[in-house]
């Protein structure tokens, strides 16, 4: 952990390689009292960050991006070992992280106040930082999703308390070292950024309930997100949660394009992405052909060691999660699901699995966070109702050549994002990103996160 510019190294908590299941490092786990002390320290630096010049914020963000680029391969290998992410996918995450910090640097200089028209007053707004941002980040994109919270917090002049997932914290420790270097280079007190490692029920919980923290930016499970809404009190909250993301294939779709996109959207990083394909709803008139193409394409995926350049699908984050997924698949089959491919587990590796199910199957209601895809045959007029029947509302997708149908589905699908002719997996780091219903509150995407991490002050001057 890194608090007030000091590194504290203790061997409290084991970090497990999800592929080998071996202990790769032991890290500190803060007590609740230690977290409270860290928050008290962070509060002392609020004015430092608030008064940090636009130029310094820009330079810090660009320097962080530069350092990440210099360590691209090192960081990618840590992601592969720590999070089980196939190395070629890990490199993509590092590249995206570089872009995220650069994007924040751009918006530092483009984030504008506003003048309000008035007959006899001068009215304008000021954007000011909320104060202390608690950034609670997940295991699946530990580098880039940390960037999506840290970069806009720096850009808006906030102090940061960063609590990474204990399941994959090692790349966040390296990121903290990079941030430390950038702050030192521009002579900014190091206490403006603090890395708090440990268990979520202690570290994350104290960040959420502590009244000195002004905002919570959380990415993770719906269960934890609901707890945060109940415990946070009068804080700003941004929640980026999960979903059972429906992907709809209409009868006029380009099937090859749909299959290629849906294979990537279903199985990249073993389905452990909040916007991974959750279920596929295919027009019954083309369902036989689609299923044949989709299953055959999935058979081509390479499963194995994340450090192998050929690997497409690596392990799930833990043995416990893989065992849970195995049970869910068995329940799906017990409910009438027809296993078309996979269903096999080796330690924490779960092989690409495809089932044909009906709309009431457990897989259509459960976020598995795994390479497990249920396919539903349906009539076109049923598809929107099936897609909207879940309690989630993150991303959805529609494959069609008909622009009128594309617009109709986009207007009627109850989701934060609707992708047309691409899978639900698509995300560009500068677009507004988030869900409705139980999939979240607020929006990420640098400009939109900066709006959430700042307060509007209205100034009125009488002439």
Query: Which candidate in 34, 93, 206, 240 is catalytic?
Result: 240
Bridge partner list, 14:
26
CA distances from 1 to 35, 56, 114, 134 (A): 11, 25, 40, 15
Rounded to an integer, what distance in angstroms lies between the CA atom of residue 122 and that of residue 463? Answer: 7
Rounded to an integer, what distance in angstroms lies between the CA atom of residue 232 and that of residue 311? Answer: 41
240 is catalytic: yes
Query: Which candidate in 34, 93, 206, 274 is catalytic?
Result: 274
274 is catalytic: yes
Please, what is the Cα angle at 97 between 95 and 102, to 5 degrees?
A: 100
Secondary structure of the chain in the HEC alphabet? CEECCEECCCCCEEEECCCCCCEEEEECCCCHHHHHHHHHHHHCCHHHHHCCCHHHHHHHHHHHHHHHHHCHHHHHHHHHHHCCCCHHHHHHHHHHHHHHHHHHHHHHHHCCCCEECCCCEEEEEEEEECCEEEEECCCCCCCHHHHHHHHHHHHCCCEEEEECCCCCCHHHHHHHHHHHHHHHHCCCCHHHEEECCCCHHHHHHHHHHCCCCCEEEEECCHHHHHHHHHHCCCCEEEEECCCCEEEEECCCCCHHHHHHHHHHHHHHHHHCCCCCEEEEEEECCCHHHHHHHHHHHHCCCCECCCCCCCCCECCCCCHHHHHHHHHHHHHHHHCCCEEEECCCEECCEECCEEEECCCCCHHHCCCCCCCEEEEEEECHHHHHHHHHCCCCCCEEEEECCCHHHHHHHHHHCCCCEEEECCCCCCCCCCCCECCCHHHEECCECHHHHHHHCEEEEEEEEEC
Task: Residue 26: count other Cβ atoms within 10 Å of its Cβ.
Answer: 13
Q: Give catalytic residue positions.
A: 240, 274
């Amino acid at each position: 952990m890194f608090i007030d510019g000091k590194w504290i190294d203790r061997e409290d908590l084991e970090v497990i390689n999800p592929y080998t299941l071996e202990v790769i490092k032991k890290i500190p786990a803060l007590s609740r009292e230690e977290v409270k002390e860290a928050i008290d320290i962070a509060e002392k630096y609020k004015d430092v960050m608030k008064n940090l010049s636009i130029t310094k914020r820009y330079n810090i963000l660009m320097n962080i991006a530069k350092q990440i680029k210099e360590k691209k391969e090192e960081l990618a290998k840590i992601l592969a070992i720590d999070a089980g992410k196939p190395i070629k996918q890990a490199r993509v995450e590092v590249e995206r992280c570089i872009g995220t910090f650069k994007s924040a640097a751009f918006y530092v200089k483009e984030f504008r106040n506003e003048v309000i028209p008035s007959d006899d007053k001068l009215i304008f707004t000021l954007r000011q930082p909320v104060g202390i941002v608690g950034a609670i980040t997940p295991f699946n994109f530990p580098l880039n999703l940390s960037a999506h919270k840290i970069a806009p917090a720096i850009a808006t002049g906030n102090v940061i308390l960063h609590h990474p997932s204990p399941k994959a914290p090692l790349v966040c420790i390296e990121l903290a070292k990079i941030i430390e270097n950038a702050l030192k280079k521009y002579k900014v007190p190091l206490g403006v950024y603090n890395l708090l490692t440990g268990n979520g029920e202690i570290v994350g919980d104290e960040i959420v309930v502590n009244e000195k923290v002004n905002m919570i930016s959380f990415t993770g499970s719906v269960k934890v997100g609901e707890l945060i809404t109940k415990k946070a009190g009068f804080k700003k909250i941004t929640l980026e949660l999960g979903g059972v993301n429906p992907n709809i294939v209409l009868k006029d779709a380009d099937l090859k394009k749909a299959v290629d996109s849906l294979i990537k959207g279903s199985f990249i990083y073993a389905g452990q992405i909040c916007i991974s394909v959750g279920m596929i709803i295919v027009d019954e008139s083309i369902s036989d052909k689609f299923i044949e193409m989709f299953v055959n394409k999935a058979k081509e995926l390479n499963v194995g060691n994340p450090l192998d350049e050929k690997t497409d699908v690596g392990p799930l984050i833990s043995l416990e999660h893989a065992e849970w997924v195995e049970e869910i698949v068995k329940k799906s089959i017990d409910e009438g699901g027809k296993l078309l491919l996979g269903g096999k587990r080796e330690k924490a590796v779960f092989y690409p699995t495809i089932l044909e199910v009906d709309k009431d199957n457990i897989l259509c209601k459960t976020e598995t966070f795994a390479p497990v895809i249920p396919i539903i045959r349906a009539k076109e007029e049923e598809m929107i109702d099936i897609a909207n029947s879940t309690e989630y509302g993150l991303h959805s997708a529609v494959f069609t050549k008909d622009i009128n149908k594309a617009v109709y589905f986009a207007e009627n699908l109850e989701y934060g994002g609707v992708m047309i002719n691409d899978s639900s997996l698509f995300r560009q780091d500068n677009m507004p990103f988030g869900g409705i219903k139980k999939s979240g509150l607020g929006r990420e995407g640098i400009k939109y996160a900066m709006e959430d991490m700042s307060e509007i002050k209205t100034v009125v001057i009488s002439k």
